[in-house]
Amino acid sequence: MPRHLISIHDLTAAEVAGLFRLAADVKANRSKYENHMHRKTLGMIFEKSSTRTRVSFEAGMAQMGGQALFLSSRDIQLGRGEPISDTAQVLSRYIDGIMARTFAHQTVTDLAKYGTIPVINGLTDDLHPCQGLTDYFTLMEVFGGLDALRGRKLAYVGDGNNMAHSLMLGATKVGMDVAIASPKGYEVKERYAGLARQDAQAAGTKVILTNDPVEAVKDASAVYTDVWASMGQESEQQERVKAFKGFTVDSALMSHARKEAVFLHCLPAHRGEEVSAEVCDGPQSRIFDEAENRLHVQKAIMLWLMAGVEI
């Protein structure tokens, strides 16, 4: 059976470390991998539009000698009621891997269940593992190695969404503590909090859930936020703006973090809402390094899952 990337929880700490070593090598030695995907095809299913996910996967396949097919839900039968099991089995006979960016998490798990090729979760309403892995890879670069992350703290301030879930699950894999601060009524799902606590107990790290942004950010080495209304929640925008008052990552909030702390955001960013422009575009921000690293980390994921490169 093929390996998939559905959730960071499914990876061991050793596999995460191996992916990061491979991503670093891919980043430093692009020409080394330019033929590793020769004649391989990645099918990219998009129910949600994207800039970074589409371009990074498509460019990554091209740079490694393969091709990527963009499949919107409007263009394939999945959007017209074909069972996911049929789509998975048919695509498995045509292509070498599937990347799916969907609303329901079950869509991605069903593609993996019924298909016979690797499936990569490009984002669901529950999880965003490619982004989460990229975030910790970026922190590894910032602080000088994977070992340098152990004992540090990442603070996430904002909606308890797919990013909060993936950051919780990823922290334990790299030996970091994680603190999630969300307004009441917008906390992370208990299902993922429970998995994160389970992993943290085994790893000797901490998972802190709070409604107080200052408590979360105190002594953090990285401060992270995301949009207050994710795709599909646009009708809740004004309601959320009121609920998230006091959760903007600005200079005052960053002052509670360590002096060397960096700011991260998965983008797109709404300056003046979840983050101030002075932080988003300031010296502590690593948002564009983070965005670039989506390419390198995802190339490593595809090399591992689709080309059999050892990690």
- Measured between alpha carbons, how far is 76 from 45 in angstroms, rounded to an integer? 9
Domain count, the chain: 2
Q: Is 294 a catalytic residue?
A: yes
**Could you tell me if 273 and 195 lie in one domain?**
yes
Instruction: List the CATH number of the domain containing 137.
Output: 3.40.50.1370
Note whether residue 144 is domain-resident.
yes
**Could you tell me if 83 and 137 lie in one domain?**
no
Note whether residue 1 is domain-resident.
no
Note whether residue 3 is domain-resident.
no
Name residues whose C-beta falls within 8 Å of residue 42's C-beta, 6 or more positions apart in sequence.
Answer: 57, 61, 66, 67, 68, 69, 95, 96, 97, 98, 99, 302, 306
Dump pLDDT digits (tens) for 41-51. 999 999 998 99
Q: Is 130 a catalytic residue?
A: no
Identify the active-site residue in 152, 294, 296, 298: 294
**Confidence at residue 250, expressed as pLDDT on a 0 to 100 scale:** 98
**Could you tell me if 276 and 225 lie in one domain?**
yes
Tell me the average pLDDT across 68-84.
Answer: 82
**Could you tell me if 122 and 223 lie in one domain?**
no
**Could you tell me if 156 and 52 lie in one domain?**
no
**Confidence at residue 219, expressed as pLDDT on a 0 to 100 scale:** 98
Q: Which residues constitute the domain of residue 120?
A: 8-128+294-306
**Could you tell me if 142 and 223 lie in one domain?**
yes
Note whether residue 253 is domain-resident.
yes
**Could you tell me if 106 and 17 lie in one domain?**
yes
- Measured between alpha carbons, how far is 134 from 287 in angstroms, rounded to an integer? 11
**Could you tell me if 160 and 147 lie in one domain?**
yes
**Could you tell me if 167 and 270 lie in one domain?**
yes
Identify the active-site residue in 105, 110, 131, 265: 131
**Confidence at residue 79, expressed as pLDDT on a 0 to 100 scale:** 59
pTM: 0.97
Identify the active-site residue in 9, 128, 152, 286: 128
Note whether residue 112 is domain-resident.
yes
**Could you tell me if 113 and 222 lie in one domain?**
no
Note whether residue 47 is domain-resident.
yes
Percent of the chain with pLDDT over 90: 92
Dump pLDDT digits (tens) for 22-36. 999 999 999 999 999
Q: Is 131 a catalytic residue?
A: yes
Q: Is 226 a catalytic residue?
A: yes
Dump pLDDT digits (tens) for 160-187. 999 999 999 999 999 999 999 999 999 9
| 81 pLDDT above the threshold of 90 | no
Q: How confident is the model at residue 74 (pLDDT cuts 50, 70, 90)?
A: confident
Identify the active-site residue in 226, 240, 265, 286: 226
Dump pLDDT digits (tens) for 98-129. 999 999 999 999 999 999 999 999 999 999 99
Note whether residue 26 is domain-resident.
yes
Name residues whose C-beta falls within 8 Å of residue 51's C-beta, 6 or more positions apart in sequence.
Answer: 267, 268
| 287 pLDDT above the threshold of 90 | yes
**Could you tell me if 141 and 259 lie in one domain?**
yes
Q: Tokens for 148? A: 């340098």
Identify the active-site residue in 265, 266, 280, 284: 266
Lowest-confidence region among 75-89, 119-133, 292-306 = 75-89
Name residues whose C-beta falls within 8 Å of residue 292's C-beta, 6 or more positions apart in sequence.
Answer: none
Identify the active-site residue in 52, 101, 152, 165: 101
**Could you tell me if 96 and 232 lie in one domain?**
no
Dump pLDDT digits (tens) for 260-280. 999 999 999 999 999 999 999
Note whether residue 311 is domain-resident.
no
Contact 76, 100 (CB under 8 A): no
Q: How confident is the model at residue 251 (pLDDT cuts 50, 70, 90)?
A: very high
Residue 304 CB neighbour total at 10 angstroms: 20
- Measured between alpha carbons, how far is 63 from 232 in angstroms, rounded to an integer? 32
Report which residue type is found at 160.
Answer: G
